[in-house]
Structure 1
Amino acid sequence: MHRTHAATSRIRRRSGLALIAALTAASLLLAACSPSAPAKPAATGRPDQNATLTVGLVLEPTSLDIRHTAGAALEQVLVDNIYEGLVSRTQDDRIVDRLAKSHEVSADGLTYTFVLHDGIAFHDGAALTAADVVSSLQTAKDDATVQGHADLAGVASITAKDDKTVVVTLAAPSQNFLFSLTGHAGLIFQKGGPTDLQSAENGTGPFTLQKWNKGSSLTFARNDKYWGEKAGVKTIVFDYIPDFTAGVNAALDGTLDVLTAVDPNLAPQLDKGGRFALTTGRTTDKGTLAFNNTRAPLNDQRVREALRLAIDHKAIIAARGAGTTMYGPIPQLDPGYKDLSSTAPYDPEKAKTLLKSAGQENLTLTLTIPSFYGSTVPQLLTSDFKKVGVTLKVNSVEFPAWLDTVFTKHDYDLSFVLHVEPRDFGNFANPKYYFGYDNPQVQKLYTQSQTELDPKKSADLLSQAAEIVAKDAAADWLYEDQTITAVRPGVDGFPQDSINSRLDLHGVTVTK
């Protein structure tokens, strides 16, 4: 659910951030940069097949066990690089075949048939067969401790037609089934493999794990026996720096080839003299102000709506120097997006009226926020709420404490995190999620959207549900984020969209 980086020269300061179960980097964007800008100035020479690519990231994993550990930090670097699924997704969230060379869906939407590529092998040399696929998917379906378990709840059977063909049958049509397979639920592991996934791996991807220096870096090596096109660089080093300024310093002193999550206010330092090219990328990252819908007085819709109306969303974006306004739970890249700005116009006077009608004219609330998000958002919220008679206390905590207190125990009033996962509207159809939002009509519409085979009709159902959520003020969405990435000349093919949730580096090259 979030990310940043700290290290000046070669010295690193670590903040001990843990993996999150749905959030990622406070990635920021420079509005002047075009989303279609090239990843770098035109390079000369030829790609160096023995090159090392060093990438600055923010949030470091605490474990490499992607089967049992939630969080964008793991998915960002391991999926498509180390582990693969039958299908994957592009930067703009289109579904494409991966381990499967083809797939077919029956007319009734119940049967999915996948045919595997020839010659696929795990990193230990064992050939991948349909049995491995069946085992991986069946385990995810049956074992509640496996990430993606809920995504396979509607699967009726998983069978191997032969060594190269897998057939998955659903109990009911699912609009989101293929997309779910691009994430944790669809990753393929060796059947009965002995690998300790907490510190090692045995995937099928274009890179292998070379070394993990906990608290510092993660190093991948090219898999020269990869079944597909070989990776363009020999080595990738992910250098974890949880501080914006330190990340810029590391880039400027030559430590990094690429810096992600560049602070817009620091971006000009990297843009001078052609030392780096800055790209801006679209994301599904949602700066979410969560309301505890189960706790008084936030269980009163009038109070929640008042808080939304009290927030000057445009001022928040101006202060951050990045992002676009977002007034509903679905971002522009996801199905079902609709402009819901009418649900929360900036209106402090109406906010005060609503609070008065709810008997909450002198309200005090606590905002629990992971410390790595900084002070900009809390300060602006504190100021906005003060204008309508609400006192906001800010509780800045380390990320593991946020996970335990807010995400797991639901012990909070308000909270702020950046939810980065695409197509995660289902969180508002799940009363057990930490939002605590329970609306049967939303749940019904969401379920209908998932069983509707027509993508347009499915998106319309999601849009209807999202509008209800926004009008209910189930949460507030302070902004839809964008990312600035600094890429030095000579690095080609580095992704620029959706990189907080997926960073496929298979096609990146470094020119001599």
Structure 2
Amino acid sequence: MRRSSLSVAVILALVASIVLSACTRPDTGSPTEGGTLNIGVTTRPDGLDPITVAGAGTPFVLLYNVYETLVKVDSDANIKPLLATEWTVSDDSLVYTFTLDPGAKFASGAPLDAEAVVANFERNRGETATAQIRDKWGPVDTIEAVDPATVEVTLTRPSHAWLYDLSGPMGIVADPAAFATINTTPAGSGPYTFGEWEEGSYIRLASNDAYWGTPGRFTDVYFRYYSDPNAMNAAMLSGQLDIISNLTVPQSIEQFRDESRYTIHEGTTTGEVVLGFNHGSAPLQDLKVRQAINHAIDRQTLVDAVWAGIGPLIGSHVPPTDPWYEDLSQAYPYDPAKARELLKEAGHETGLTLRLRVPVLPYAPPSARFIAEQLGEVGIDVVVEELEWGRWLEQVYANHDYDMTIVAHVEPRDMTAFSFEGNYWGYDNPDYNRLLEEADASLTEDEQVAKLKEAARLLSDDAAADWLFLLPSIIITTPDISGVQVNQISLSFDLTMLAKG
């Protein structure tokens, strides 16, 4: 089969642009600068294996820092080389051939060769992986080591999304010798190694002195966890932190306006804050009830009240940074009278009670209280329950024990969150699934964009959820920190570009 370099059409379909020749590691040649970096974080991991553990807390710390991938997404959504120096795609868009960097090796000193990549990819799509990660491997047929430096992946059908997704947790390459213990002791090839995990308190990463690329700039990096965002702000104000990874009390931003002490980096994220519905809950199986809830909530007032008015309304599971974004924020304008009318038509004029179970994350409880009050005004009694993150993952995400919930979905390009089998919303719409499949296998970028816009509109018409707003990225640093990625559009808090001094 003849191979060709990645065509412009395929490039555009995968991402806004792909730069095959650029290197994502700092190209300064400078040695490790040393010192300690302290980063304030809110979302704790529930385990340290991104393949078997759901949630964004794990890749936030480990992706690109400890674990690397063949390709990497930068803050502008460009796909760039990382462990692979280059790749080609066959004319029929089914066969991807990756050439590995000859210098790549694991922190243990073991070679990072094609056999190691194949072992990881087979594990990553295996039965122990989360359902969402297995779903992303769906288009793949075979994975083969052609020679020590070459990996060949054959798809069953063309897929626009697959290479982009490979830059995330589904594509991590861990040291195969450590597979049995990586949920507690991560082992990868990145510029940092795992140091220690004090659950609920911090994760420490240490500089990988034998790193095969440009080393990290810090001897130790601490990701320090705060359940109270005001406590994290206080730690920053008192000099205990160098970085707040995302300011989760935007009302407090004025505390950091002193440019001699702080730098404020404002950008965007892929974090759709979603009022999710359990479609297995009898009342929420009724479209009119879901539409009524959408009409009953004044989303702009909610953002003003709980997030200082910072964060755009979007109305869909698509952030503005994706090519198929459409502003659907007014599909269900605030209209309590319409909400009461729909509830009456659905037979729920009075007496409807719903459980709103939310994780104890900064945006969720305040939003829940606001929503409970507004739904109460149209006749829905809302019982709010706040759960620690681990309990939320177990009871809501895994066991589907809820009526409504609120969570920020930060995974990039994750419209499949509503299509994969066993999704925690219990949403199953064959027309939606078909549109995603047709978009992924489409021949042109224009066709892909059109199909995904149609899918997003279908979700909106079906009131599959209520998309409240998009989380902004507000990173606070001391003035001596450089290399911050302002737009947080991957799941990684990427340390590779950060420096201090």
Distance in 2 between residues matched to 1:502 and 1:208, nearest whole Å: 15
Higher deviation after alignment, 279-288 or 364-373: 364-373
1:12-59: CA deviation from partner (whole Å, max 9, x where unpaired) = xxxxxxxxxxxxxxxxxxxxxxxxxxxxxxxxxx99812221111112
Taking only the aligned residue pairs, the percentage that are identical comes to: 35
Query: RMSD of the TM alignment (CA)?
Result: 1.9
Residue of structure 1 in register with 2:14 after alignment: none
Does residue 352 of structure 2 align to residue 367 of structure 1? no
Counterparts of 1:333-344 in structure 2, within 5 Å, are 333-344=321-332
Does residue 281 of structure 2 align to residue 299 of structure 1? no
Structure 1 segments unaligned to the other structure (5+ residues)? 1-45
- Are 1:195 and 1:202, in contact at CA under 8 Å, matched by a contact in 2? no
1:186-217: CA deviation from partner (whole Å, max 9, x where unpaired) = 11123344662132232110111223233322
| C-alpha spacing 1:245/1:98, structure 2 compared with 1 (3 Å) | same
Higher deviation after alignment, 406-415 or 142-151: 142-151
Q: TM-score, normalised by structure 1?
A: 0.87
Residue of structure 1 in register with 2:195 after alignment: 210
1:282-339: CA deviation from partner (whole Å, max 9, x where unpaired) = 1010110011222222111011101101110110111121211121121112342111
Residue of structure 1 in register with 2:444 after alignment: 454
Counterparts of 1:29-108 in structure 2, within 5 Å, are 49-108=33-92
Q: Residue 268 of structure 1: CA displacement?
A: 1.3
- Are 1:47 and 1:510, in contact at CA under 8 Å, matched by a contact in 2? no
Of 212, 222, 246 in structure 2, the residue corresponding to residue 237 of structure 1 is 222
1:75-120: CA deviation from partner (whole Å, max 9, x where unpaired) = 0110100011111111233221110000111121100010011111
Q: Residue 233 of structure 1: CA displacement?
A: 2.4
- Are 1:48 and 1:510, in contact at CA under 8 Å, matched by a contact in 2? no
Residue of structure 1 in register with 2:254 after alignment: 268
Counterparts of 1:38-437 in structure 2, within 5 Å, are 49-145=33-129, 148-193=133-178, 196-262=181-247, 263-272=249-258, 274-319=260-305, 320-321=307-308, 322-362=310-350, 363-373=352-362, 375-430=365-420, 432-437=422-427
AA partner of residue 395 (structure 1):
E
Q: Residue 254 of structure 1: CA displacement?
A: 1.0
AA partner of residue 261 (structure 1):
N
Q: Residue 508 of structure 1: CA displacement?
A: 0.9
AA partner of residue 420 (structure 2):
N
Distance in 1 between residues matched to 2:499 and 2:33, nearest whole Å: 8
Distance in 2 between residues matched to 1:430 and 1:132, nearest whole Å: 28
AA partner of residue 231 (structure 2):
A
Does residue 470 of structure 2 align to residue 480 of structure 1? yes
Higher deviation after alignment, 244-253 or 407-416: 407-416
Higher deviation after alignment, 410-419 or 270-279: 270-279
- Are 2:175 and 2:189, in contact at CA under 8 Å, matched by a contact in 1? no
Q: Could you say which structure has the greater relative contact order, defined with CA pairs below 8 angstroms and 6 or more residues apart? A: 1
1:249-293: CA deviation from partner (whole Å, max 9, x where unpaired) = 111111111112221111211223621111112101011001122
Distance in 2 between residues matched to 1:231 and 1:402, nearest whole Å: 34
Q: TM-score, normalised by structure 2?
A: 0.89
Runs of 4+ in 1 over 6 A off after TM superposition: none
1:155-210: CA deviation from partner (whole Å, max 9, x where unpaired) = 11111121111110111111111012112221112334466213223211011122
- 3-state SS of 1:432 partner: coil
Structure 2 segments unaligned to the other structure (5+ residues)? 1-29
AA partner of residue 369 (structure 2):
Q
Q: Residue 144 of structure 1: CA displacement?
A: 4.1
